[in-house]
Amino acid sequence: MKIFMASFGTETNVFAPMPTGWEDFEECYFYRHDTLSQPSKLFNSPMHLWNKRAKEDGHEVICSLSTFAMPAGITVRHVYEELRDMVLDDLRAAGPVDIVLLSQHGAMIAQGYDDCEGDLMAEIRKIVGEKVIVGTELDLHGHLTDKMMDSANLLVFFKHYPHDDIDERADELYDLAIASAEQKITPVMRFWDCKMIAFYRTPIEPMASFVAEMKEREKEPGVLSLSLCHGFPTGDMPDVGTRMMAITDNDPDLASSLAEEFGQKIWELREDFRVDFPSIDTALTYSHESNKHPIVLADISDNAGGGAPSDSTVMLRAVLEKDMDDVAIGIFWDPGVVRICKAAGKGAVLDLCLGGKHGVVSGLPLNINAEIMNVTTHQAQAMGDGDVMMPLGTLVWLRMENNINILVNDVRNQALSRLPFLEIGIELEKLGTIIVKSSNHFFNSFDVVAEEIIHVSGPGAMSFDSATIPYKKRDGNYWPKVENPHK
Ligand SMILES: [Zn+2]
């Protein structure tokens, strides 16, 4: 068989201040036909796996585009259209294929396109016709739309957040796509709309048990795949929200009943997902006065992984005002400060104007006096402690008086892992408070050293109180905006 594969995407926060353009794709990674000879990078990791499986099975592989942009604001129209058309041109040039496999995010919005993934799948379907199997692996923070359902045969979402199951899900999608193309199964997809917009952390209860139950039920006869599409709250489009997806072997009634059964479970658990994070002042006071150490505080509102600038000074300013000591905070995205520090070099003591430059929600720039403790170039970090690397560019470790340690870089990314802190020389175990600019991907890695982890609610481009998000395209009939959107 002939398998065509491609991967491109981003996660669009329509409330973020910076548009997503060409440079954002090129900075993260951009390969047209040579992905398979390059290192595995997050969303192209499935392409490496599919190629390996296909080669073992004796299938031919055609590899098209693979690129990803760090989440930010809405994607520039012509950039999306040019990326999409590269994939479509490659598909036409490939001639007849048996299977199309895509690795996409699911929450990419461009000017004029609320549903970029659905648009791409629909255009692919027009080219390949009805008989070719089209399967897509998606981030659980994507959206699930009718256009995707109408255009693809198989939609498989990650089950874990943090996303440490990308290859596991890619493996499953490959198996399902091959079995479908060989007509051993006939996938039928149905979803149930939970009418909720919330934040679900799968390493902890009740979500850990929910995920385990999905996996258990997938072993039952006729059940091919179950996915909870969490949705991406700050991606304003008509379908944003939580949807439960079921794929069965030619049994639409079973798919519908399973989607509703699992969707209802999430609905019944909703009070567990009501946002109740402490304020910055409460969290810092608690950590400052606590005997536990280190306590990890997540600055969830300034998470680059959700499109925020990652240069908010609000928490650092509060740390200094409270006269705290033994703190690490990062990663600030401030290319100007990085350039100055790179020139000055290790050991220099400088007055710097840090952060607060890339959005009104980032607060004002903060004037600090700090010693440059270390500078590393071509830094990268893995998701958790895995081996799929993402670029961080040049990383600078600054230290202010009272042992306040600050990480700054010039390639925007959230603090996925504690490794950048450790590799540059910061001894995390000896600190009282570690502040990470991330929502949840940091969790598994920092859990190893943290005595306690606290998600902190502050101002920023990422909002976790979905009841107050000022949607223009999504209607207001969702929990927690209304208590019962199902009546
Ligand atoms: Zn995600």
Burial degree of 483 (CB within 10 A; 0-12, 13-18, 19+): exposed
**CA–centroid distance, residue 157 to ligand 1 (Å):** 10
Same domain, yes or no: 242 and 365 = no
State the average pLDDT over residues 334-348: 98
CA distance 394 to 346: 13
Same domain assignment for residues 309 and 379: yes
CA of 105 to the centre of ligand 1 (A): 8
Please indicate, yes or no, if residue 476 is contained in any of the structural domains.
Answer: no
pLDDT tens column, 46-93: 999 999 999 999 999 999 999 999 999 999 999 999 999 999 999 999
Cα(69) to centroid of ligand 1, in Å? 13
Residues 300 and 179 in one domain: no
Ligand 1 centroid – CA 254 distance (Å): 28
Same domain flag for 43 and 186: yes
- 450 lies in the same domain as 306: yes
354, pLDDT greater than 80: yes
Kindly give the distance from the C-alpha atom of residue 452 to the centroid of ligand 1, in angstroms, as a whole number. 23
Expressed in angstroms, the distance from the first to the final Cα of the chain is 48
485 within some domain: no
Distance CA 443, CA 450 (A): 10
Answer yes or no: is 441 within a domain: yes
Distance in Å, CA 64 to ligand 1 centroid: 23
Give the global pTM: 0.91
- Based on the fold, state whether residues 322 and 243 are members of the same structural domain: no
Residue 88 lies in a domain: yes
Judge whether residue 319 has pLDDT over 70: yes
Write down which residue in 250, 272, 294 finishes a domain. Answer: 272
Whole-number pLDDT of residue 77: 98
Q: What is the CATH number of the domain that holds 189?
A: 3.40.50.2300
Long-range contact set of residues 401-405: C-beta below 8 Å, sequence gap at least 24:
401/369, 402/323, 402/324, 402/325, 402/326, 402/327, 403/325, 403/326, 403/327, 403/431, 404/316, 404/319, 404/320, 404/324, 404/325, 404/327, 404/329, 405/327, 405/328, 405/329, 405/373, 405/431
What pLDDT sits at residue 434? 98
Q: How confident is the model at residue 385 (pLDDT cuts 50, 70, 90)?
A: low
Residue 431 C-beta-side C-alpha neighbours within 13 Å: 28
- 383, pLDDT greater than 80: no
User: DSSP state, 273?
Assistant: G
pLDDT above 90: residue 276: no
The predicted-structure confidence for 126-166, as pLDDT tens digits, reads as follows 999 999 999 999 999 999 999 999 999 999 999 999 899 99
Instruction: Assess whether 132 and 207 both reside in one domain.
Output: yes
The answer to whether residues 266 and 289 belong to one domain is: no
pLDDT band at 333 (very low <50, low <70, confident <90, very high): very high
- How remote is the CA of residue 11 from the centroid of ligand 1, in Å? 8
Position 471 confidence tier, pLDDT thresholds 50, 70, 90:
very high
Instruction: Verify that 49 and 29 share a domain, yes or no.
Output: yes
Cα(71) to ligand 1 centroid in Å equals 10
Residue bearing the bigger pLDDT, 383 or 93: 93
Q: Is residue 481 part of a domain?
A: no
Mean pLDDT of the chain: 95
> Rounded to the nearest whole angstrom, what is the distance from the C-alpha of residue 412 to the centroid of ligand 1?
16
Q: Which two tokens stand for residue 1?
A: 């068989």
- Would you say residue 339 lies in a domain? yes
Instruction: Please give the distance, rounded to the nearest whole angstrom, from the Cα atom of residue 65 to the centre of ligand 1.
Output: 21
pLDDT at residue 307 is higher than 80: yes
Range with the poorest average pLDDT among 188-197, 312-321, 413-422 = 413-422
Range(s) of the domain holding residue 400: 280-464
Confidence (pLDDT) at 298: 97
What pLDDT shows up at residue 39?
85
What is the C-alpha radius of gyration for the chain, rounded to an integer number of angstroms?
A: 22
Do both 239 and 285 map to the same domain? Answer: no
The number of domains in the chain is 2
- Indicate whether 28 belongs to any domain: yes
What span, in angstroms and rounded, lies between the C-alpha atoms of 177 and 214?
20
What is each CA distance from 130 to 99, 220, 255, in whole angstroms?
11, 28, 21
The rounded Cα 355 to chain-centroid distance in angstroms is 23
Question: What percent of the chain has pLDDT above 70?
Answer: 99
Tell me the CA distances in angstroms from 315 to 54, 158, 299, 370, 437, one per residue in order: 49, 31, 8, 17, 10
- Same domain, residue pair 241 and 361: no
Tell me, in angstroms, the distance from the centre of ligand 1 to residue 90's CA.
27
pLDDT category at 41 given cuts 50, 70, 90 is: confident
* Same domain? 250 vs 301: no
Nearest Cα to Cα of residue 468 among 301, 200, 234, 140: 234
